[in-house]
Structure 1
Amino acid sequence: MVWPPEAAEEGIGVVDTYGAQTPPAPHPEQPAVDVLTDTAAVLFQDRPVLALSSWLGNALLSAVAEERHVQIVTPPHTLLTLPARLALAEVEGRWVVREESGGYYDGLTGAVLRWQGDSFAPVPDSSRETGGTGTAAAFAPVPNPDERQLLLSVRTCHRADEHLLLGGSLEAAWQHLTGAAPAAWGTAEPAGLPWSRRNLTDFARERAPRPTRLVVVGAPGRPAVAALNILRTADGVEEDINLGVGYGKGEEPPFDALADLAHDLASHHHLRSALFHVRTGRRDVNAPASFETPPIPLALALGAEEARRTGARGEKVPISRPPRAIGARRSPGRYFYLGEADSPSNWAALRSLLGHLRGQDA
């Protein structure tokens, strides 16, 4: 069954549940869930952009607590925001795209899907001798050479005390890459609270020791969005940041600013590690339901503590350039340049570097 009934006529999608037992009704507090089975919570969404709204976040948390997989069904034209994509990946959920022909595929991997028993699952490809699944023809790449995304993954750790003010590392990244501070923050999309490190810190402190997940956005002139996770650990208060900044035709990402940003993070914001990527992708930083080229790593930065753990291995490394010292002179971190923005060989350089730093054979 589909609710509302006219959803089938509008082409939102019909799940073939022939032979399946009637699932229990959704929880009253989770109206977003359309089909609830023993193993999956299925949501049908027909909207241009699927964001990490409050109801979607609650549905994800509820499904995880009940040990169900989240599966979100959308039409092919739907875009997935960066925070929604990260949240779905964290709970091992699936983005199910319904083709006009009635078939289904995974919006992030292209795997052909089918309703099997009580959830969507990949269809084995009988043409492959080694097994595996087929890829939907609709998952073909959409040429987009003029737009790019700069992607940052940053981890910091602060000593927990009454003077702690969070959000500094994210604000520094925003300033270095866009020339302005973030515009707004919130617990879901759309983020509507004016940017304030004090208010953000007070909110996280009230929730401690529970973790806090936040969404941060920039001004419309420069598309940028971040997912910020704040976690209380034995070492202190950790901030895990995933930031995406979009650039269109004629807009060159500020690659030269990355080393200075890493130095700032190591000097003033208790950097643990940072990884910088670039990819060909939409300027609005949303993900389409089609193939996107993988991001290319540009640089790896380690804070003083992480650099100290690598010992002498952090001085002489198997990459084209020697590491650059960042942060305090007495206890510096390290910035490792991996290669040019259009070089796929950067992945091999990153693997070799990480193996070397960990004391493993290449």
Structure 2
Amino acid sequence: MTKDVIALTPKMPDTAALLVALAAGGAGLDAAATADGAVIQLLGAGGRPLVSVEAPVLLQVPGEAERLLGTPAATPLWWTETRASTAVPEAAGLAGAVAGRLAEVLGGTVWPEGAGRVTTVPVDSEASAAPAPPGALPTVDVVTASTAVVLADRPVVPLTAWLSDVLRTTAAHGAALHLVTPAHCRISLPLRTVLTGAPNRWVVQDPAGGYYDGLSGAVLAWQDGTFAPVRDAEGRARPAEAFGRPAAGTGERRLTVQLRTEQPAEDDTLLGGALETAWRTLTGAGPAGWGTAEPVNLPWSPRRFTDLARGRMPEPTLVTAVGHPDRPALATVRVTRTAAGIEEDATLSLGYGPAEEVPLDAVRELAEALARGHGLIGMLVALGPGRRDPSLAPRYTDPALPVSYTLGARGVAEATLTAARRPPLALKPVRLGPERRPALHYPLGGGTDPAGWEHLAALLTHLRTAVPPLP
């Protein structure tokens, strides 16, 4: 049984319902609130956390339960996670009992199917007697001096609020987060973003034995309290066969738009406009929802997004936005206060099936709109193979190829219009935006030319004195 069990209910789990659910452990267990009351824990002997019950989340965005769990569910609904400690054998059953009782009382369902139980689960394991150390992360499976290890088994592992807290805590202590999953699991794009690069890792259990990195494919082994690459005599990492094994061809593709904009830091500045423009231009509709974690729970609102970012400044804000269920799309947006104003760095990913047309003809229209009305600094568009749904499997995928790059008016002015219009390449940039402060749009092969990355590198080298490459 998975150690994560989720109750999906049409009614909010109030205090009475939570008390009934927490009674699943019998009279011998204590309960305590942590994280400023956002998490309730069932404690075994000695205060060891057995099960953590997260604060219920009101899910108002259609399709989120199906995107993350594969379970269609009507919205609005309440999403309540219970997480069991893997150190205690009975804890997984206890988590299922807590979620099952919530669903029974409130008329909902439990994921995974069959995990919910409505009987009392006695906890007799001696492991429950081990006290939790002060400040311990609740239900993190393994903690060493350098690494926190979290085990997960879901169709798609998302960047939940709890996992975000674990990341912040480990980073504050100079430690790493290693997420360990079976090979059939996928991760969401927001989670991939935070796991990309040392010291954090996505560790995949190889069906043939051992472990490998789900992003790079390097064979891993547990060494000195952390997962590290297995290297040959020359110090090179060894690739895992399971990672390089090609998946069955599906013909699915993914269009990725990376854009950076800048606006003045004024009272009437509204954020999210560039992302919404990109979404509408490429799909015909705006984002469906947004949030600071997954599942994404709030209907799309530039005003609420702006209020959140303004309240957190000067600290940056990172949010996730999702599309409507019939048009899979997902974006991450980072808002940063700079000396010149407010920058938004957005990455929008859109998936397409083999019979669906990728709207490459709309890219130039999008560049024009961003250059005229949204303070565009730069935009890179790329196309490549990828799942239609916005998730990532632990397998090698051919890299995307550039479609185009657009340089905003500020970059053109800094590089000078004469130089920016004459890159050392056999391409002709298209002039966009206001006549007095133009942007330049550079076609790079339409996502079909393998030399597109070389052309982009040459272009950015030509402009580098003024324009850094996009992330």
TM-score (ref. length: structure 2) = 0.70
The equivalent residue for 1:5 is 89
What per-residue deviation string (whole Å, max 9, x for no partner) do you get for residues 73-121 of structure 1?
Answer: 0000111111111122267411000123330000011100000011000
The equivalent residue for 1:334 is 440
Structure 1: distance between partners of 2:437 and 2:198: 38
Structure 2: distance between partners of 1:233 and 1:27: 38
Could you tell me which of 366, 369, 372 is aligned with 1:267? 372
The equivalent residue for 1:13 is none
Contact 2:402 2:446 survives alignment (8 Å):
no
Instruction: Indicate how the Cα distance of structure 1 residues 345 and 80 shifts in structure 2: closer, same or farther if over 3 A, else same.
Output: same
SS in 2 for 1:256: helix
SS in 1 for 2:164: helix
The amino acid that maps onto 1:46 is D
Contact 2:175 2:199 survives alignment (8 Å):
no
The equivalent residue for 1:344 is 450
Contact 1:26 1:33 survives alignment (8 Å):
no
The amino acid that maps onto 2:203 is V
What per-residue deviation string (whole Å, max 9, x for no partner) do you get for residues 232-284 of structure 1?
Answer: 11111111101100000211110111111011111100011111111101000
The equivalent residue for 2:168 is 61
Could you tell me which of 245, 252, 259 is aligned with 1:147? 252
The equivalent residue for 2:236 is 132
Larger Rg: 2
Contact 1:25 1:36 survives alignment (8 Å):
no
The equivalent residue for 2:201 is 94
The amino acid that maps onto 2:343 is E
The equivalent residue for 1:170 is 275
The amino acid that maps onto 2:154 is R
- What is the RMSD of the two structures over their aligned residues, measured on CA atoms? 2.1
The equivalent residue for 1:44 is 151
SS in 2 for 1:63: helix
1:342 shift after superposition: 1.9
The amino acid that maps onto 1:348 is E
Contact 1:320 1:338 survives alignment (8 Å):
no
Number of positions where the alignment pairs a residue of Structure 1 with one of Structure 2: 342
Instruction: Indicate how the Cα distance of structure 1 residues 359 and 271 shifts in structure 2: closer, same or farther if over 3 A, else same.
Output: closer
Q: 2:230 matched to 1:123?
A: yes
The equivalent residue for 2:463 is 357
The amino acid that maps onto 1:289 is P
Structure 2: distance between partners of 1:242 and 1:157: 15
The equivalent residue for 1:17 is none
The equivalent residue for 1:109 is 216
SS in 2 for 1:246: strand
Aligned runs of 1:197-236 on 2, under 5 Å? 197-236=302-341
SS in 1 for 2:360: coil
What per-residue deviation string (whole Å, max 9, x for no partner) do you get for residues 32-68 of structure 1?
Answer: 5211111111111111111111111111111111100
Structure 1: distance between partners of 2:339 and 2:322: 30
Instruction: Indicate how the Cα distance of structure 1 residues 26 and 196 shifts in structure 2: closer, same or farther if over 3 A, else same.
Output: farther
SS in 2 for 1:43: strand
Q: 2:187 matched to 1:80?
A: yes
1:131 shift after superposition: 3.1
Contiguous gaps of at least 5 residues in structure 2: 1-84, 93-130, 467-471
The equivalent residue for 2:405 is 300
The equivalent residue for 2:125 is none
SS in 2 for 1:308: helix
Instruction: Indicate how the Cα distance of structure 1 residues 82 and 27 shifts in structure 2: closer, same or farther if over 3 A, else same.
Output: farther
Contiguous gaps of at least 5 residues in structure 1: 9-23
Structure 2: distance between partners of 1:187 and 1:319: 41
Contact 1:42 1:70 survives alignment (8 Å):
yes
Contact 1:228 1:241 survives alignment (8 Å):
yes
Instruction: Indicate how the Cα distance of structure 1 residues 4 and 242 shifts in structure 2: closer, same or farther if over 3 A, else same.
Output: farther
What per-residue deviation string (whole Å, max 9, x for no partner) do you get for residues 169-188 of structure 1?
Answer: 00000001111010000111
What per-residue deviation string (whole Å, max 9, x for no partner) do you get for residues 154-208 of structure 1?
Answer: 1111100101000000000000111101000011111111111111111111111
What per-residue deviation string (whole Å, max 9, x for no partner) do you get for residues 281-340 of structure 1?
Answer: 100021101101111111111110011112232011133321111211111011111113
Instruction: Indicate how the Cα distance of structure 1 residues 313 and 7 shifts in structure 2: closer, same or farther if over 3 A, else same.
Output: farther
